[in-house]
Amino acid sequence: MLPERSHRDPVVLREDPLAPWATGLAGRLDRLGFEVALVPDEAELRGQLARCEGPQAVLLNVGLGAHELGDSLATVADASHRQDLTVLAIGDEPSPPTREQLRRAGVTLSAFGSLDDPMLRFQVNRAFLAARHAGPARRERRAPLDWAVGVHFGTHHLTTRLYSLSRRGAFLEMVRPPTDGTELELDLPLPQGPARVGSQVVHSNPPGHRRWRRAPIGVGIRFEALRDETAARIDAVVTERCAAMLL
C-alpha cells in the first residue's frame, strides 16, 4: 500500500548514482512517497544541504570507504547549525571501526543489510521525527514489522498487515479503517505461539483525510488489559527488531 503523494519529504542519499544498489534504493524510496536527491560527491551533498530548507534525512552508505565516509560525516557536521538534519547509516553491516567512526560523529540510527519496505519506511520516518523533535517523541520503543494479522470487530473478520508494534499498541494497515474508539480483537503471530489481544482504535489515518502523511493508511490501536506473559513476548520481539536499527 503506497502513501498519498500530496507532500514528499526530502531524502538525501549519498551514494554512487551509477551503482545499481543506489538506483534501486532511490526507486524504492520514491515509491514509498519520499523526494529523493541522489548525490555523488561532497560538493553536491554540501549544495543539497544548503539548498533545501526544513527537516531532512541524510542516508549515508557506510560502504563508501573510510575516507569518503569521513568526508560525508564532516560535511553534515559543517551543517550542524541546522537542528533539522538526521543521518541514517545504511548499507552492509559495517566493521567495528566503522561503527565507532559513526558513533563518534553522533550517528545513532541505522538500517543495515537487506531491508524490507516496512523497515525502510519506518527508519526514514524515524529520522524525520528525530530531525523535527531533536530525539524520539515517544517514550515506548516501537519496531517495524510486516506481519499478517487477524482482526475482528463487530461482524468483520479480516486479515491485514501490522506495520509497527510496541508494548502499548500497534499500527495496522487497513484500506477502510474503523473509526476512533472501535473495539478490536487482534491475532498476533508471536514467537512461541499466537496470542489474541483486545484493543481499541485510538487514531485513524483514512484515505483522503490522512493525519500522518508518511504513515500507511490504517489505524493506531492501544492494547487493553494485556496479560503480563503476552507483554513480555511482545517486548522480546520489539527488543530484537530494534537492535538492528540503532548503532
Residue with cell 478490536: 184
CATH topology of domain 143-243: Thrombin, subunit H (2.40.10)
Residue with cell 504513515: 215
User: Do 89 and 112 contact (CB within 8 A), yes or no?
Assistant: yes
Count other C-beta atoms under 10 Å from residue 28's C-beta. Answer: 15
User: Do 128 and 214 contact (CB within 8 A), yes or no?
Assistant: yes
pLDDT per residue, tens digit, the chain (247 aa), is: 444 444 678 889 988 767 777 888 889 998 888 889 889 888 888 888 888 777 788 999 888 878 889 999 998 888 766 667 888 999 888 899 999 999 998 898 888 888 788 888 888 888 887 765 554 444 457 888 889 999 999 999 999 999 999 999 999 999 888 989 999 999 999 998 999 999 999 988 877 665 656 667 899 999 999 999 999 999 999 988 887 787 7
- Is there a shared CATH topology between the 10-133 domain and the 143-243 domain? no
What confidence score (pLDDT) does residue 233 get?
95
Q: What's the pLDDT tens digit per position in 145-155?
A: 889 999 999 99
What confidence score (pLDDT) does residue 2 get?
42
SS3 assignment, position 109: strand
* Closest by CA position to 221, among listed 184, 196, 187: 184
Cα angle, residue 61 at apex, residues 60 and 66 outer, rounded to 5° = 100
What confidence score (pLDDT) does residue 241 get?
82
Rg of the chain (C-alpha set): 19
Q: How far apart are CA 10 and CA 59, in angstroms?
A: 11
Question: What is the assigned CATH class of domain 10-133?
Answer: alpha beta
Q: Where are the domains positioned within the chain?
A: 10-133, 143-243
